[in-house]
């Protein structure tokens, strides 16, 4: 696989939609190895570098926000989530839970994505998760400065 060296991201593998490398995070009290993906075609944009640097500098704060917001999202939307699950699978795919220790068993971080198109003076990135209740889709939390959106992979770009 072809690789590049970027002054901010370091060594990245080139793939058909941009660049990526292994990356480690601690979330829900666990260590995870995920992918760091920088979307793009020709070159890494300065806005992408800036978004990554801001994420990296405040990673613990962002990941703490992710923990709280995703847990809250699940609790507030469990009735809607269960509409897409057969009743006999409720306790496996979308059980009623009371704390983040129970929640972390339903979710696993997969990728941090720095999208290609970022407005100037905007910090934008998304974190994707595999989870028990979304099926073939990916759960995503997207940050645009202080705005946070939770949904499936359509919200990344």
| C-alpha distances out from residue 38 to 70, 83, 156, Å | 23, 34, 12
- 150: DSSP letter: E
CB 148: neighbour CB atoms within 10 A?
15
Range of weakest confidence among 57-66, 88-97, 117-126: 117-126
In a 13 Å sphere around the CA of 131, the CA atoms on its Cβ side amount to 24
pLDDT tens digits, one per residue of 77-101: 999 999 989 999 999 999 999 999 9
In a 13 Å sphere around the CA of 106, the CA atoms on its Cβ side amount to 26
The encoded tokens of residue 67 equal: 């923990």
Which candidate, 129, 128, 131, 133, places its Cα nearest to that of 83? 133
Q: What is the pTM of this model?
A: 0.93
For a pLDDT cut of 90, what percent of the chain falls above it? 83
């Amino acid at each position: 696989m072809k690789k590049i060296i970027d002054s901010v991201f370091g060594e990245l593998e080139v793939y058909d939609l941009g660049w990526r490398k292994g990356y480690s995070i601690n979330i829900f009290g666990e260590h995870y190895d995920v992918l760091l993906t920088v979307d793009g075609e020709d070159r890494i944009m300065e806005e992408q570098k800036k978004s990554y640097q801001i994420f990296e500098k405040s990673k613990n704060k962002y990941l703490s926000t992710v923990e709280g917001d995703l847990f809250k999202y699940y609790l507030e939307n469990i009735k809607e989530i269960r509409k897409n699950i057969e009743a006999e699978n409720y306790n496996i795919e979308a059980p009623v839970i009371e704390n983040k220790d129970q929640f972390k068993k339903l979710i696993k971080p997969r990728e941090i994505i720095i999208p290609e198109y970022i407005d100037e003076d905007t910090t934008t990135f998304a974190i994707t998760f595999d989870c028990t209740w979304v099926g073939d889709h990916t759960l995503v939390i997207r940050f645009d400065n202080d705005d946070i959106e939770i949904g499936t992979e359509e919200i990344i770009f």
